[in-house]
Amino acid sequence: MTGNIRTFVLMAALTALVMAMGALIGGKGGAIIALIVAGAGNVWAWWNSDKAMLRQQGAHEVSRQQAPELVDMVAALAQRANMPMPKVYILETEQPNAFATGRNPENAAVAVTQGIMRVLNRDELAGVIAHELAHIKHRDTLIMTVTATMAGAIAMLGNMLMFSSMFGGRDDNRGGGFAAILAMIFAPIAAGLVQMAISRAREYEADRIGAEICGKPMALAGALAKISRAAGQVVNIPAERNPASASMFIINPLHALRMDRLFATHPATEERIARLQAMAQGGRNGGPWAAR
C-alpha cells in the first residue's frame, strides 16, 4: 500500500469515527450533523491553520535583509524543488527543530528555531529545509491540519457523549449505555492513533523527497540525529502549551517532557536514519542542493 493510499484509508477511518460518535449521540441525524460540523471545522482550519500555528509558536517572519543566508538557502532549495518561495520564519526557542505550514504551496511558510541554526551545519540545515519543502509540495501540511481537526472533533464528541450518558440523553436498552461508555473512552484514543499513523507515514515520504531535493541524504540523516538528541534536553515551551502541533515538527518537540513511545507522533529516528542511509548507498543523491 502506497503512502497516499494509506493516508486516504486512515482519513476515511477518522471520518467513520466522527460519524459513529455522532450516531451514538443523536442517531442518524447526529451522524450527519457531526460530519457537517467536522467539515466546517476543516474548512476553517484549511484557511487559518498557518496563521494559528505560527502565532501559537511565537514565530516571526524574517526578510533577506534580516537573515540573508537562511532566506537564500530556502530560495535555492525551493527553486530546485520547482515550487514557489515560501515565507520564512524564526522561532525564539533553543530547541533545534523546524516545521512547515500553509494550505498550499502558494500560501506556505517554513519556520526554523534559533537552536537549529546553531546546532546544524550548512548541509544539515539544507536537508531539514528540504524536508519541510517536501511537506509543502505534497500538501502534507493540509492533510495534517485536517486530521488534527477531525481528531479534535472526535474528542469533543466524546465529551458530549459523556455528558449525554450522565444526564440520560440516550436510551440505555440493548447495551447502548455500555457501548456509549466504550466509545467515549476508546474513540478519542483511536483517533489519536490514526492521526499519529498518518503523521508517521508522511514523515518517511518527506525524508525521501527532502533528501532528493537537497541531494545529500546523509546530511539530513545527520540533522535528524542531532535534533533528536537535543530535543530531549531542551523544553520547547510553546509546543508544550499546544501539544496538538507536535506532528507538524520534523522531530517531536514534546520529547523533553513526554516520552510515551506508543503515542509518538513521529516514526523512530533510528528507522528514518536507516532509510536515508540506504538511500545514500543506493546512489539516489540527486546532486548538490546548490552550487558551491
Q: For residue range 22-78, list pLDDT tens digits in order.
A: 776 677 777 777 777 767 766 766 677 678 788 888 999 999 999 999 999 999 999
Beta bridge partners of 167: none
- Is residue 253's pLDDT more than 50? yes
- Per annotation, catalytic residue among 61, 132, 205, 240: 132
Looking at residue 227, its pLDDT comes to 94
Looking at residue 108, its pLDDT comes to 92
Q: Higher confidence at residue 26 or residue 272?
A: 272
pTM above 0.85, yes or no: no
Active site residue 132: yes
Looking at residue 165, its pLDDT comes to 60
- Is residue 161's pLDDT more than 70? no
Is 135 annotated to bind a ligand? Reply is: yes
**Contact between residue 138 and residue 82 where contact means Cβ atoms under 8 Å apart:** no
Is 124 annotated to bind a ligand? Reply is: no
Q: What are the helix (H) ranges across 215-268?
A: 217-231, 237-241
Give kind and range of the element (H or E) at residue 112.
Answer: strand 107-113
Is 131 annotated to bind a ligand? Reply is: yes
Lowest mean pLDDT among 87-91, 179-183, 191-195, 251-255: 179-183
Name residue, grid cell 455528558.
163
